[in-house]
């Protein structure tokens, strides 16, 4: 619509020519004016051009002006005539009207644009909403279909469930029926059995009668001769006494059986009680180390009191023998208590050990553990070594046993072993003989020494005797002759008196007779020894012992 | 182990005498007495008909041969071969015969269990016991031979009568609360009598010698009940094997169950040793467990050697499913035996017919399971030591002791299918019996 622009520019010119210009304007741009007017209401098209020319031509200018005036006044614009009656046109008002119209046109255009925009927006909104609506409708359809499907399934499952319940009920009924059937059949069976049995018994009776009738003829025992009883006794008549005896025997058998069982039970009981007592003692012995800890003070008190009680109980050993309820209960209760305490103790120890693991306690425990581990390692090594030894020994043994199939080699081997053994044995024999010889030598030397010692002793004794005698003689010359005969064997004389004395003593039984007899037999050596050992009074005290020792040596030598 | 040659036998009737000096065997109608160690023929007796049952008297001086079809019992003396005795039951018929503990009376059960006739070999007296019960173990003697318990049934009720064996005097007579008494057995100490009900009802009653009911034990209701029981030699335990494949042990003080032993098809405990019999290929392999058989066995052509392997637990054993609609199904604990030192209990679960289960009674735990290739026919403990001999119907004998397990092939040609075995009193030898033959196996003292 480029014609718009062309219209606005040439409009403002002189007044006089306005009309003409107006008209020429009209003429020049009727299509544009017309098109303007027409734009408001009608789309521009070439057909309108004809209409514009149709509206105002040179002939009907006045009518068209009046028509326009009328329209404008109805629209509220001032009239375009200068006066109300005249035909002179008020140009100002015409221009104002045109301006107003233009403004209105702009406004309308803007409004139209807005409306169009809104329309578009609304259109797109509408489209959008329609889409949503369509989608939602689809979804709704889908959900409806789903619901229907689920409902269908639910219905099916419920009907299945009902069927199963029904089946179960039927089965239960059947089972019940069968059980009833069984019981009824059982009673029926029993009843029939009883009936049949009665019949059978009747038959049996009849048969029995028949059989008993023929007893005389057929049933018999032939025996060459009657055999004696197994225990050799005669048979006894059946009397009341025998009946009573039988009863007695039976009761005796029963009683002995019961007594035996009771004894066994008592023994078992006693053993168990002993075991319990031992256990109790051991548990008590395990508990005291707890005394040091402050926590268990309160428990300690109870422990101590319990200990006292228990010790008191333990002392009453006779209580064990009684099997009355109270003692039993006491025992079991006390054991339970002790056991619980022991358990607590062990638990505490476990806690301690766990604490040691985290390394909180004293070195003692740690070291002991280390020691323990070392010891266990040592023991393990030992075990391994022993095992290896055992294995090697086993192998050797097997080798020995599973000697090669060849006899010769086995014989050879055996010979080898035998030779070895033989040589060893020979060596050992040699050693043994040597040792024996040595022993013999030593023995001989010992005996000689013993003999020597004995003789020395004798000599010494003689010396002593003579010395004492001299003393005595020196002390009392009166009693010498009278008492020398009667005084006993302490004196071993070197003179004839002594010989006489010795003979007397040898005749009398003295403890030293062994000692004295060789002396009497060998008087000469004694003199020799006396000569040699004249000054050997060493052993005063302890006489009895050496004498005996010598005596025994003498015996050995002999 | 040394094996003797095979001798003829019929009816699985091969018995050692109680003193261990003689071995009696039957071949049709002939009774053959051999020396137990040399197996030399000592006596040969001929009976009137095919012998169905033989039994030694307790002092080993007499032996009875029962011929049920003819209703005759013949008694022979070992001391005097000329002595003879024939007991003819006549038309009464004969179903069972046994000695009394003193060895001088014979108890014959007549047909239809009409009565038990007590024949005396010492006197001319005859006693009758009426209404004996027709059950598996109807007559039981105490170990010391003083008392006899007889199960009776009168008026549709069960009774037990206790007789004194010395003069057959009736000591006690009382009724039992059982539906249908199945069996009675004395404890080895002779003071307690166990009586149990039919398999339709699990009930075991314990009576004292004077007839008082000491205790009743019921493990469960409705299912099949007791199949077998065994007393321990010290009378301390009573083992009850039932159809639910469990063994329950009762103690003699409270008569309550102290433990139950299960026999599942899978052995899972790691402390159990499972010995599995394995066929050995003909080439000689080094064996770690079983002692190799003697050289004599290597020469036999038909032998397929077998040895024991220790299987790693868990081991699953072969088990069979018994027919559910038949009576007396092959399930439950069919065989129970305590070892003579009271330390072990050997059991067999009929559901798992190839296995022997050995339980340690001191610890009340499963100790050993022996898995064999064939079904177990019988087993028996050595009367002196804890040694178990097992036979499975083939020509091998298996011996287990706590030291180990041995599988030994009996040398000889042909098949020798060992069905039963019987130990000698001293435990030095045992007789292996098959349908047609028997042989004696001598064990050396050092072995096993």
pLDDT in tens, B214-266: 999 999 887 788 999 999 999 999 999 998 899 999 999 889 999 999 998 88
Contact between A254 and B86 using a beta-carbon 8 Å cutoff: no
Query: What residues form DSSP beta bridges with B278?
Result: B307
Pull the structure tokens for residue B220: 């469960």
Among chain B residues, CA nearest to A190: B179
B357, B336 contact by CB (below 8 A)? no
Judged by average pLDDT, the poorest of A21-35, A318-332, B64-78, B87-101 is: A21-35
Closest CA–CA distance from residue A296 to any residue of chain B (Å)? 42
Q: Calculate the average pLDDT of chain A.
A: 72
Best of A194, A250, A260, A262 to mutate (most B CBs within 10 Å, chain B): A250
Contact between A220 and B90 using a beta-carbon 8 Å cutoff: yes
The rounded percent of chain B whose pLDDT value lies above 90 is: 52
Secondary structure (DSSP) of B141-186? E-TTSSEEEEEEEETTEEEEEEEETTTTEEEEEEE---SSEEEEEE
What is the total residue count of chain A?
558
User: Which of these, B17, B26, B2, lies nearest to B424 by C-alpha position?
Assistant: B17
**Distance of alpha carbon A88 from alpha carbon A16, whole angstroms:** 12
pTM recorded for the entire structure: 0.59
B165, B119 contact by CB (below 8 A)? no
pLDDT of residue A53: 63
For A146, list phi and psi in degrees, rounded to 5: -60, -50
What integer is the mean pLDDT of A274-292? 74
A31, A49 contact by CB (below 8 A)? yes
Alpha helices in A316-406, H assignment, sequence order: 318-321, 325-358, 363-401
Contact between A230 and B104 using a beta-carbon 8 Å cutoff: yes
Contact between B171 and A226 using a beta-carbon 8 Å cutoff: no
**Distance of alpha carbon A40 from alpha carbon A108, whole angstroms:** 8
Residue written as token pair 């005859």: B126
- Tell whether ipTM is more than 0.85: no
User: Which of these, B18, B13, B143, B7, lies nearest to B424 by C-alpha position?
Assistant: B18
pLDDT of residue A540: 42
Q: Burial letters for A14-24: b for 16+ Cβ neighbours within 10 Å, e otherwise?
A: eeeebbebeee
HSE-up (13 A, CA, CB side) for residue A332: 7
pLDDT digits (tens, 9 = 90+) for B16-49: 999 999 999 999 889 999 998 888 999 999 999 8
Among chain B residues, CA nearest to A241: B169
Confidence category of residue A510, pLDDT binned at 50, 70, 90: very low
User: Which of these, B330, B334, B313, B314, lies nearest to B322 by C-alpha position?
Assistant: B330
Whether A315 shows a pLDDT value over 50: the answer reads: no
CB nearest to A242's CB, from B83, B90, B169: B169
User: Which of these, B156, B154, B161, lies nearest to B127 by C-alpha position?
Assistant: B161
pLDDT of residue B293: 52
Closest CA–CA distance from residue A278 to any residue of chain B (Å)? 25
pLDDT of residue B173: 94
Does A9 lie at the interface with B, CB-CB under 8 angstroms? no
Contacts of A493 (CB under 8 A, 6+ apart): A462, A465, A466, A469, A499, A501, A502
B250, B339 contact by CB (below 8 A)? no
Average pLDDT across each block of 10 residues of chain B; the chain has 448 residues. List them in order: 87 91 92 91 92 93 92 90 88 88 91 88 86 90 93 91 89 91 93 91 92 92 87 93 92 91 87 85 46 47 69 82 72 92 93 92 91 92 92 90 88 82 91 91 71
Contact between A246 and B82 using a beta-carbon 8 Å cutoff: no
| Residue that wins the pLDDT comparison between A127 and B414 | A127
Among chain B residues, CA nearest to A191: B156
Contacts of A73 (CB under 8 A, 6+ apart): A79
Confidence category of residue A462, pLDDT binned at 50, 70, 90: very high
pLDDT of residue B303: 54
pLDDT digits (tens, 9 = 90+) for A170-211: 999 999 988 877 877 778 788 888 888 888 888 888 888 887
Contact between A194 and B122 using a beta-carbon 8 Å cutoff: no
Going from the C-alpha of A169 to that of each of A166, A175, A343, A493, B75, the distances in angstroms are 5, 10, 56, 135, 68
Contacts of A287 (CB under 8 A, 6+ apart): A303, A338, A341, A342, A345
Query: What residues form DSSP beta bridges with B431?
Result: B422, B440
Whether A504 shows a pLDDT value over 50: the answer reads: no
Contact between A219 and B191 using a beta-carbon 8 Å cutoff: no
Confidence category of residue A322, pLDDT binned at 50, 70, 90: low
Burial of residue B348 (number of CB atoms within 10 Å: 0-12, 13-18, 19+): buried
Contact between A194 and B156 using a beta-carbon 8 Å cutoff: yes
**Distance of alpha carbon A195 from alpha carbon A449, whole angstroms:** 117
Judged by average pLDDT, the poorest of A56-60, A540-544, B414-418 is: A540-544
**Distance of alpha carbon A30 from alpha carbon A36, whole angstroms:** 9
User: Which of these, B216, B238, B217, B215, lies nearest to B228 by C-alpha position?
Assistant: B238
**Any idea what DSSP says for residue A81?**
B
| Residue that wins the pLDDT comparison between A93 and A104 | A104
Pull the structure tokens for residue B128: 């009758």
Interior CA angle at A291 toward A285 and A293, to 5°?
135
Q: Burial letters for A216-245: b for 16+ Cβ neighbours within 10 Å, e otherwise?
A: eeebebebeeebebbeeeeeeeeeeeeeeb
User: Which of these, B440, B374, B387, lies nearest to B37 by C-alpha position?
Assistant: B440
Whether A154 shows a pLDDT value over 80: the answer reads: yes
Contacts of B83 in chain A (CB under 8 A): 224-225, 227
Contact between B102 and A204 using a beta-carbon 8 Å cutoff: no
Q: Which uninterrupted H or E stretch holds B441?
A: strand B437-442
Closest CA–CA distance from residue B356 to any residue of chain A (Å)? 33
Pull the structure tokens for residue A444: 């001989």
Whether A539 shows a pLDDT value over 70: the answer reads: no
Interior CA angle at B49 toward B46 and B50, to 5°?
95
Domain extents for chain A?
A: 90-214
Whether A314 shows a pLDDT value over 70: the answer reads: no
């Amino acid at each position: 619509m480029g014609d718009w622009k062309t219209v606005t520019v040439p409009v403002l010119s002189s007044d006089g020519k306005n009309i003409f210009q107006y008209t020429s304007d009209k003429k020049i741009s009727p299509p544009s004016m017309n098109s303007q007017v027409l734009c408001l209401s009608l789309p521009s098209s070439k057909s309108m051009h004809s209409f514009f020319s149709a509206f105002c031509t040179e002939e009907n200018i006045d009518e068209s002006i009046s028509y326009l005036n009328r329209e404008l006044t109805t629209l509220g614009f001032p009239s375009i005539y200068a006066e109300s009656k005249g035909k002179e046109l008020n140009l100002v008002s015409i221009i104002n009207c045109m301006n107003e119209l233009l403004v209105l046109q702009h406004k309308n255009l803007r409004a139209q644009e807005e409306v169009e925009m809104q329309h578009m927006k609304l259109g797109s909104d509408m489209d959008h909403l329609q889409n949503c609506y369509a989608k939602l409708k689809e979804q709704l359809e889908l959900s409806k279909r789903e619901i229907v499907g689920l409902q269908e399934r639910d219905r099916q499952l419920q009907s299945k469930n009902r069927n199963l319940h029904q089946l179960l009920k039927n089965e239960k009924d059947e089972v019940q029926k069968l059980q009833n059937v069984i019981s009824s059949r059982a009673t029926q069976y029993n009843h029939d059995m009883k009936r049949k049995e009665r019949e059978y018994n009747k038959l049996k009776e009849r048969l029995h009668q028949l059989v008993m009738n023929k007893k005389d003829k057929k049933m018999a025992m032939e025996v060459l001769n009657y055999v004696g009883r197994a225990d050799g006794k005669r048979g006894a008549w059946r009397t009341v006494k025998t009946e009573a005896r039988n009863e007695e025997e039976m009761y005796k058998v029963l009683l002995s059986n019961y007594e035996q069982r009771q004894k066994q039970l008592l023994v078992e009981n006693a053993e168990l009680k002993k075991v319990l007592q031992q256990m109790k003692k051991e548990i008590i012995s395990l508990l005291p180390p707890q005394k040091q800890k402050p926590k268990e003070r309160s428990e300690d008190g109870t422990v101590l009191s319990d200990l006292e009680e228990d010790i008191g109980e333990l002392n009453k050993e006779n209580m064990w023998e009684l099997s009355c309820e109270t003692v039993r209960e006491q025992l079991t209760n006390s054991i339970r208590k002790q056991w619980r305490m022991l358990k607590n103790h062990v638990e505490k120890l476990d806690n301690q050990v766990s604490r040691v693991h985290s390394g909180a306690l004293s070195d003692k425990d740690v070291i002991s553990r280390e020691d323990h581990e070392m010891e266990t390692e040592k023991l393990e090594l030992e075990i391994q070594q022993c095992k290896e030894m055992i294995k090697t020994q086993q192998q050797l043994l097997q080798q020995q046993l599973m000697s090669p199939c060849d006899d010769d080699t086995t014989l050879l081997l055996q010979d080898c072993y035998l030779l070895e053994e033989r040589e060893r044995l020979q060596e050992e024999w040699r050693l043994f003989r040597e040792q024996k010889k040595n022993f013999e030598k030593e023995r001989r030397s010992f005996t000689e020494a013993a003999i020597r010692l004995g003789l020395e002793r004798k000599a010494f004794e003689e010396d002593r005797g003579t010395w004492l005698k001299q003393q005595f003689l020196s002390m009392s010359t009166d009693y010498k002759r009278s008492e020398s005969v009667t005084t006993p064997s302490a004196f071993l004389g070197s003179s004839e008196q002594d010989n006489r004395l010795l003979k007397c003593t040898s005749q009398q039984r003295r403890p030293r007779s062994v000692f004295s007899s060789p002396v009497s037999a060998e008087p000469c050596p004694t003199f020799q020894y006396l000569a040699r050992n004249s000054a050997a009074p060493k052993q005063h005290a302890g006489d009895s012992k050496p004498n005996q020792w010598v005596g025994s040596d003498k015996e050995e030598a002999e | 182990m040394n094996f003797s040659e095979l001798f003829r036998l019929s009816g699985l009737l091969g018995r050692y005498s109680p003193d261990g000096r003689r071995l009696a065997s039957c071949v049709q109608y002939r009774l053959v007495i051999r020396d137990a160690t040399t197996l030399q023929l000592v006596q040969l007796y001929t009976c009137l008909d095919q012998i169905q049952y033989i039994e030694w008297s307790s002092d080993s001086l007499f032996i009875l041969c029962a011929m049920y079809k003819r209703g005759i019992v013949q008694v022979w003396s070992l001391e005097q071969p000329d002595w003879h005795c024939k007991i003819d039951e006549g038309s009464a018929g004969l179903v069972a015969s046994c000695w009394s503990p003193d060895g001088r009376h014979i108890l014959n059960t007549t047909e239809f269990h009409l009565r038990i006739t007590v024949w005396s070999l010492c006197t001319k007296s005859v006693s009758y016991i009426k209404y004996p019960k027709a059950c598996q173990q109807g007559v039981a003697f105490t170990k010391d031979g003083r008392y006899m318990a007889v199960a009776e049934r009168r008026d549709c009720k069960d009774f037990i009568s206790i007789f004194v064996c010395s003069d057959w005097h009736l000591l006690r007579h009382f009724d039992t609360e059982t539906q249908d008494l199945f069996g009675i057995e004395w404890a080895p100490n002779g003071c307690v009598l166990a009586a149990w009900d039919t398999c339709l009802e699990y009930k075991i009653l314990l009576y004292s010698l004077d007839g008082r009911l000491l205790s009743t034990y019921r493990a469960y209701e409705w299912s099949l009940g007791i199949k077998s029981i065994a007393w321990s030699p010290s009378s301390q335990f009573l083992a009850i094997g039932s159809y639910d494949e469990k063994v329950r042990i009762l103690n003699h003080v409270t008569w309550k169950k102290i433990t139950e032993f299960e026999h599942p098809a899978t052995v899972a405990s790691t402390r159990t040793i499972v010995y599995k019999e394995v066929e050995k290929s003909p080439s000689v392999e080094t064996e770690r467990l079983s002692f190799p058989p003697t050289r004599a066995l290597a020469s036999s052509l038909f032998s397929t050697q077998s040895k024991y392997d220790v299987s790693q637990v868990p081991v699953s054993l072969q088990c069979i499913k018994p027919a559910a609609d038949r009576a007396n199904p092959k399930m439950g604990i069919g065989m129970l035996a305590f070892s003579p030192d009271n330390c072990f209990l050997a059991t067999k679960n009929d559901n798992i017919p190839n296995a022997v289960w050995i339980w340690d009674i001191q610890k009340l735990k499963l100790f050993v399971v022996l898995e064999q290739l064939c079904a177990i026919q019988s087993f028996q403990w050595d009367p002196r030591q804890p040694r178990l001999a097992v036979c499975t119907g083939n020509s091998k004998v298996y011996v287990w002791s706590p030291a180990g397990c041995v599988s030994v092939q009996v040398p000889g040609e042909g098949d020798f299918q060992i069905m039963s075995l019987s130990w000698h009193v001293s435990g030095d030898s045992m007789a292996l019996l098959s349908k047609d033959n028997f042989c004696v196996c001598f064990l050396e003292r050092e072995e096993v």
